[in-house]
Structure 1
């Protein structure tokens, strides 16, 4: 057989594989939902809190604190020395770690007060802009053949886990489910939304209706949106 016969075949092994992973990657019907500020406040925020209370973020904190997956971290600020601007970069599960045109990194921030884009407020604009510059600089420093205008940054909503993290991908990366409308929200777009938003520095994304896709096997659908739909309270 020719060497490289399977060059276009990539297999992801997830370990430990939780029920959440199984539901996420199983073939299923998809729904498009609208999360109003009321639904977020009354249903989604408590759901997020429950996941954090169950210790679902311990693995993230272990990575941040250097206890786990140290060998996978490709760049990091010194733990605890950069304050709110501390972060680390590691390869996304979907990247083969060699094809730069398919670059996909995750930036996990050290600060723990931001769970998702819903926690972003006007007062966070300078932080977001500074973090964007730091993340691009770190990526280009790590991969010198990539230029700043070959990178795009976005966040997911709903995210897989409720600790703020930013996706950094090469612009040549084919847009799959991870970059799809109803899943990915550009970091620049979020910053602009905050800039034009009325209100003081505490005004933020928790006051905006968000539309996104959900698989019918996901807990958010079965525990939140399906009951809302059956009760007639869902907005769509």
Structure 2
């Protein structure tokens, strides 16, 4: 059993809303590189593994010194493929080679502003709390309880009138921002789910939590990087 965790970076080649998103350039460097470099510079992982069906992505992973660029089967390259399925495939690949990682982390390419210090701090909390999972969270910018929809062409509160309160009277809700999830491998493989047992939070600052889903998000990340202070953890980006 390998005691240092495995880092898994899923990086599918296809993206309908933002073609070639995982290789989009941010300050002249592909998004994939930010995830690889943050993982490597954290120095907490035994191996950084990039999973993709795309040859250019696999070659880019090697260029930026991922420990392993692992080709995934076509079934895990579709729009319906889920990150948890990709992680299961990677873990089972290593098991088939006789290597069992006690813990692993998954980093999404689409949040390039996470830092190596975020990873170190989160892993320390994960180990000290003896949790099964740790998930990075960021507050919703606007309370989702106040969402509306128009199912018959007329606007209605989605969660009912009782939730249309002043913001300060509503519970603070969060979302997973894609920065990272840490998990115990054996429990994850048994539960098959990141929202499993004993999930603890790691709260991210909004300015280090950008989920890039379209070119406008990429422009926002460019702006945030351009104004960030020259702290050591940001210089590593």
Normalising by the smaller structure, the TM-score range is under 0.3
Larger fraction in strand: 2
Length-normalised TM-score, structure 1: 0.27
Higher RCO, 1 vs 2 (CA within 8 Å, ≥6 residues apart): 1
Q: TM-score, normalised by structure 2?
A: 0.27
